[in-house]
Chains A and B, each alone.
Chain A
């Protein structure tokens, strides 16, 4: 059984940031692109996921041999002028590999930083965008719906049950985690920024997201301090008045280019002649260091330099890596579940054909019987017809129920093959796949169909095909 899915796109594995940034879709842009795929290429189901690390389009139904040059052309148009996107930047996966890929993406296994949390929300956002597109049939159809719902559930389970996202995994997030573990709530805390390094700015922004509001900036050049303070919505402090600024700070981020220690024990004691009552977190990411390392011996000071932070990041990344086998086990479970569900779609056309064939035999036999027994009145004929219908339904009831149940198991595909062989249904009919997709789309009504149904051949596939002229066009 081939799962009729494909993903095509660029990611940090295949394309440098110069390409990825040109491939990034904003929310409304992504919606427009999806509509374009529907209108121009007849794509039936699609989700466009665009983050800083990847731009991927998930498509269904698509077979491995399907030409996706139309989608590639969309990427080329998006990349625009400059360095052209080439086939080596694009990747494509088909069938089960798509399921495995998306589950891994959702769990953060495919991220630059293993286990990062944002991707789960980004996947959800992309899926909801397709759901909200308001086209008929919906862009998030049965297969894509089930795929993304299972992916989000798998991602959530992995984050809840494994340490895949434990411990901060970037220098800036380590700073935030340290601040949280010292101060608890960061609202109302003040940061003193020494220097105007890019990493320090990143840290200030990360801490700002946690509620830190008061920002003081000190720099050798006062004008630069003022400029940075304005950008960070803080206040500038002349560097020669550092002793006055120190008591106001709970966190110090230092990243100047000073050739010597800027924050020495003497300066600290001048600022805190009676010692400091509350903890002070100092992050010194300058090289050479701005802060005298001996300050770390002060009881109230928690001092971390760049090497300390990197060591912490490395330890956390190692911890996350240890969770990968368990995460992969959960992914395999999710894939099994999706495979079972997908296989159950395949059984619907087989059941319909099996019933249609039996119904045809019943009708033919009745006709032959009534031809021989002309003396029968209409009441007797009606009773015999009723009897034959009941007998047929009873005979087909158990195989049908068992077949549906069996599809949820690993042997599901073999069961379908066996039924096809036993009933002589090996040659697929034209509408088989449409029947399967329809079963997924209106799964509840289809699966709730009574076993004694009077219209076994009552598929709505032709009607739906007429409503959706693009159905299957990508194939």
Chain B
């Protein structure tokens, strides 16, 4: 029930941002949208604490629980943009991802997997937590990158319409994208390290053909690709934005393909 309320708050915040995009964000409007999103994050935190109290484990294993936690990290990431002027407006691109994650989690059921007992220990918790941070870093970079490309298009087309007025400056989006990619890359690298250590310690060796491992390594490669795109001659911020959008699409697309084809054990992938 609290999860559903949190979802409604996220949807409400997204609706407000959409409204401000169409009608113009005046006065305290943006603050209201951020406050609604913050309300969603607070409720979401309550729901996850409830899960932990009910089941005696962290909501990290099982598709519903994991997606809910991933969405929660996204909500927290959105709140972390608040100190940067106008940066919270990336919510218009980030909130759909958060609501989809939480919506799917609610559809499949937010409950522990029967196999969850195999997945325990500090190493595993750190692996999953850092992985969520990594993927949300990529999601933030995607949101900032997508808005960057739209703003770039507005400036080039010289139309300066409602998108131009609503979207934050290119420099802000570039900074946000850079923070998202670097933080995400560092977190995912740590997640892979913890995951490898946990697997070796608990299962003897790492199975490279495991779809989860394939997806994780591919995601890490995507981060690396975005970071490389941000270096070199020519306009790096524009290239970085484009790479973040493509990279996010590749990561999400690969997840869906792997999930629908090879499936895995149903825990996360």
Contacts and interface: CB of A to CB of B under 8 A. Distances in A.
Interface of A: 159-163, 166-167, 177-178, 180-185, 274-279, 296, 299-300, 302, 304, 308, 311-312, 315-316
B234 A274 contact: yes
B40 to A, nearest CB: 25
Contacts of B165: 166-167
Given A308-B158, A312-B160, A279 B235 contact: yes
B155 A181 contact: yes
B69 interface: no
Given A160-B26, A184-B172, A299-B235, 14 more contacts: A177-B160, A178-B155, A180-B169, A182-B171, A183-B170, A184-B168, A274-B234, A275-B233, A277-B233, A299-B238, A304-B158, A311-B158, A312-B158, A315-B160
B236 A184 contact: no
A299 B156 CA distance: 9
Nearest to A189: B171
A281 to B, nearest CB: 9
B102 to A, nearest CB: 31
Contacts of A296: 156
Contact of A182 (B170, B233, B234, B235): B170
Given A181-B169, A182-B170, A167 B234 contact: no
Nearest to A276: B235
Contact of B151 (A162, A181, A277, A304): A181
A276 B172 contact: no
Interface string B230-241: 000111111000
6 contacts: A159-B26, A178-B160, A180-B169, A182-B170, A184-B168, A302-B156
A278 B235 contact: yes
**9 nearest interchain CB pairs?**
A275-B234, A274-B233, A184-B169, A184-B171, A160-B27, A300-B235, A184-B172, A163-B24, A308-B158
Interface string B169-194: 11110000000000000000000000
A177 B158 CA distance: 12
Nearest to B28: A160
Contact of A302 (B155, B168, B172, B233): B155
Contacts of A316: 160
Nearest to A299: B235
Contacts of B119: none
A302 B164 CA distance: 14
A275 B156 CA distance: 18
A312 B85 CA distance: 25
Nearest to A304: B158
Contacts of B169: 180-184
A167 B27 CA distance: 15
A153 to B, nearest CB: 13
A315 to B, nearest CB: 7
A218 B78 CA distance: 45
Main secondary structure of the interface of B (DSSP, over half): loop
Nearest to B29: A160
Nearest to A279: B170
A181 B155 CA distance: 9
Interface residues of B, number: 24
A159 B167 CA distance: 20
Interface in B106-127: none
B145 to A, nearest CB: 15
Interface string B71-88: 000000000000001000
Contacts of B171: 182-185
A184 B167 CA distance: 11
A167 B237 CA distance: 26
Max chain A Cβ within 10 angstroms of own Cβ: one of B24, B236, B237? B24
A161 B26 contact: yes
Contacts of A163: 24, 26
Interface string B212-249: 00000000000000000000011111100000000000
Contacts of A178: 155, 160
Nearest to A309: B158
Contacts of B233: 274-275, 277
Interface in B23-48: 24, 26-27
Contacts of B158: 304, 308, 311-312
A161 B27 contact: yes
B123 to A, nearest CB: 41
A181 B170 contact: yes
Interface string B9-28: 00000000000000010110
Contacts of A308: 158
Contacts of B167: 181
Nearest to A163: B24
Nearest to B161: A315
A300 B238 contact: yes
B235 A275 contact: yes
Contacts of A311: 158
A177 B85 CA distance: 15
A279 B172 CA distance: 13
Given A184-B171, A275-B233, A167 B238 contact: no
A278 B169 CA distance: 13
Nearest to B236: A277
Given A277-B236, A299-B238, A182 B24 contact: no
A160 B24 CA distance: 10
B250 to A, nearest CB: 23
Contacts of B234: 274-277, 299-300
A178 B27 CA distance: 21
A182 B155 contact: yes
Contacts of A160: 26-27
A298 B94 CA distance: 30
Nearest to A298: B235
Contacts of A162: 26
A334 B236 CA distance: 52
B152 to A, nearest CB: 9
A185 B86 CA distance: 12
Nearest to B154: A181
A304 B158 CA distance: 8
B89 to A, nearest CB: 12
Which of A181, A304, A312 has the largest number of chain B CB atoms within 10 A?
A181
Nearest to A297: B156
Contacts of A277: 233-237
A315 B160 CA distance: 9
A366 B145 CA distance: 89
B72 to A, nearest CB: 29
A49 B108 CA distance: 66
Nearest to B87: A184
A183 B174 CA distance: 10
Contacts of A300: 234-235, 238
